[in-house]
Amino acid sequence: MDRAKIEKKYEPLSPFELKDKLISMTQNPQIKMMLNAGRGNPNWVAVQPREAYFLFGFFALEEAHRVMSRPGLAGSPDSKGTADRFLEFCSVHAEQNGAGFLRNAFSYVTAKLELDGDSFVGEMVDAILGDHYPTPDRVLKNTQKIVRAYLNNTMCNDDPPDGTMDIFVTEGGTAAMTYIFNTLRENGLIQTGDKIALGTPIFTPYIEIPVLNDYQLVEIEVEQDENDNWQYPDEELDKLADPSIKAFFLVNPSNPASVSMADRSLEKLAELVRTTRKDLIILTDDVYGTFVNGFKSLVAIAPRNTILVYSYSKYFGATGWRLGAIGIYEDNVLDEMITALPEKKKKELHERYRTIATDPSKIKFIDRLVADSRTVALNHTAGLSTPQQVMMVFFSLQELLDSDSHLYKKEMQDIVHERYETLYKALGTVGPELPCFACYYTTIDIKKLALQRYGEEFRSWMEKAHEPIDFVWRLASEKGIVLMDGGGFDAPEMSVRVSLANLFKADYAKIGIGISDLLDEYRKEWEESR
């Protein structure tokens, strides 16, 4: 079977599944080293909150032994007086890594957030030991206040709108999205055949989920303009004025382009939901927002309509921890829409949730998310594991403690920007200077690069002579370089997404050279065919 026929067979796959095939193709004796800049797992870890976490575990065990100490076991700690003992522990262990962070964290939450010291330390001790079910199941009491402060700081540029954001902590951003889609469907807020808008290009699973048999939604693309710094043209956002579109799902900053929405687009959307589309549901995945200075999420400018999804995975190098959060303001259109459902649907929902509340009609949407995440019947065992919530608290506190100097953020930005510049220098060009650029990924339009280097005739030949995935296919099989196929994200066909997070600086020079060399090989083939 020739290469084109094989490629056709693999083209329907998600780029994440195609990636596995590309990796297998690099297992070639002629390829000395594979460079995988496909999936965006970062190759860094935030050190200070981890040091604090592991040291705090020893304090928690001391607290447990105070209650009961027998061979191989201890008791469930009591929070009374725990703050004083904690501060003494920090003093005794002052020379150990993590002690300074713990002291500063305690000072911040008690002074700035006005949390009770015993309550905070007691919650963290019990949580890190993991000896109770998460209670409350949606999020621990003090944990919610700290996570909320973090999201206000990072997602709202420290200028949150009026009102209070409720938090549901989840097993990463992907779990959050799964729960949201399911609860929107179960509560009749999206139904089979409904139209939803997707901000494209977009993370491929968000293209794939709505059309599954579970949902059978009709997708309307709201397309970013590659030639306008990957921003949404006004005429694309105008599509959202159509009342038949129930929801707008987007990633901001975008994936794969890695660019956040311009102020003009944020303001246009805010005006839309204030006036003609008060019922529009906005679901925004803002995992890369912490890489952009002055970032503002749609939850900051359209809080009544927006469901915020955030994951700690990329910024803190914590994909294995599975730490995500859903944020929904207490005053929101989702609860209003549930109240306005037809009586028949209300009766169905009464039956669905009647075992967990005496008046199911008063259960908020965010609490329905929690119940649905455990198929309602297991609601009493819902919630993110408590040791995970402690890690989430410490990650949040690192950023809150660093909110004046932003030393950690600057390090993150320096890492990805150095890799970006190295890649494009090796490619023989200058990367686009994009405003609001997270720089976690970059998307290289191979056809546009072909046009710039060798002209329209060559570009046209390359497009007609080769399958859309041929470039990533040959990069893997001939160069040992694994990149994501941009077309799978609804980016231009024969574009590639390069993760700037998971390899070292020198590796990106090799990737740039590999892309350039392969394009030269296409040119030679074209010249021979003429």
Residues 450 and 516 grouped into a single domain: yes
Give CA 240 to chain center in angstroms: 23
Full residue range of the structural domain in which residue 80 is found: 48-132
CATH, residue 361:
3.40.640.10
Residues 470 and 493 grouped into a single domain: yes
DSSP label at residue 259: B
Is 400 part of any domain? Answer: no
pLDDT at residue 32 in the model: 66
271-301 pLDDT, tens digit per residue, is 999 999 999 999 999 999 999 999 999 999 9
Q: Percentage of residues in the chain with pLDDT exceeding 70?
A: 99
Q: Is the pLDDT of residue 359 over 90?
A: yes
CA-closest candidate to residue 125, choices 114, 137, 117, 113: 117
Neighbours of 529 (CB within 10 A): 8
pLDDT at residue 29 in the model: 67
CA distance 496 to 80: 57
CATH, residue 508:
3.90.1150.10
pLDDT category at 1 given cuts 50, 70, 90 is low
CATH, residue 73:
1.10.20.110
CA distance 257 to 8: 25
pLDDT at residue 386 in the model: 98
Is 481 part of any domain? Answer: yes
208-221 pLDDT, tens digit per residue, is 999 888 899 999 99
Q: Is 158 helix (H, G, I), strand (E, B) or coil?
A: coil
pLDDT at residue 26 in the model: 79
Domain boundary among 360, 392, 424: 392
Query: Mean pLDDT over residues 383-397, rounded?
Result: 98
Is 388 part of any domain? Answer: yes
Residues 6+ apart with CB under 8 A from 253: 259, 260, 261, 286, 288, 289, 291, 292, 295, 436, 437, 438, 440
pLDDT at residue 322 in the model: 97
Residues 277 and 334 grouped into a single domain: yes
Q: Is the pLDDT of residue 167 over 70?
A: yes
CA distance 159 to 445: 36
Residues 375 and 274 grouped into a single domain: yes
> What's the chain's average pLDDT?
95
Domain boundary among 113, 132, 151: 132
Q: Is the pLDDT of residue 241 over 90?
A: yes
pLDDT category at 17 given cuts 50, 70, 90 is confident
Is 142 part of any domain? Answer: no
pLDDT at residue 19 in the model: 83
Residues 124 and 258 grouped into a single domain: no
Give CA 220 to chain center in angstroms: 22
Neighbours of 175 (CB within 10 A): 18
395-434 pLDDT, tens digit per residue, is 999 999 998 899 999 999 999 999 999 999 999 988 888 8
Is 378 part of any domain? Answer: yes
477-489 pLDDT, tens digit per residue, is 999 999 999 999 9
Query: Mean pLDDT over residues 447-454, rounded?
Result: 95
Q: Is the pLDDT of residue 109 over 70?
A: yes
CA-closest candidate to residue 170, choices 3, 342, 42, 328: 328
Is 420 part of any domain? Answer: yes
Residues 309 and 435 grouped into a single domain: no
Residues 59 and 107 grouped into a single domain: yes
Q: Is the pLDDT of residue 116 over 70?
A: yes
- What DSSP letter does each residue of 408-425 carry, written as one string? HHHHHHHHHHHHHHHHHH
Domain boundary among 369, 392, 415: 392
User: Tokens 């509560």 — which residue?
Assistant: 187
Is 40 part of any domain? Answer: no
Q: Is the pLDDT of residue 440 over 90?
A: yes
Residues 364 and 455 grouped into a single domain: no
pLDDT category at 257 given cuts 50, 70, 90 is very high
Is 147 part of any domain? Answer: no
125-150 pLDDT, tens digit per residue, is 999 999 999 999 999 999 999 999 99
Count of domains forming the chain: 3
Residues 178 and 308 grouped into a single domain: yes
Residues 236 and 331 grouped into a single domain: yes
Residues 264 and 233 grouped into a single domain: yes
Residues 235 and 269 grouped into a single domain: yes
24-74 pLDDT, tens digit per residue, is 877 776 666 789 998 889 999 999 999 999 999 999 999 999 999 999 999
The pTM assigned to this predicted structure is: 0.95
Q: Is 133 helix (H, G, I), strand (E, B) or coil?
A: coil
pLDDT at residue 33 in the model: 75
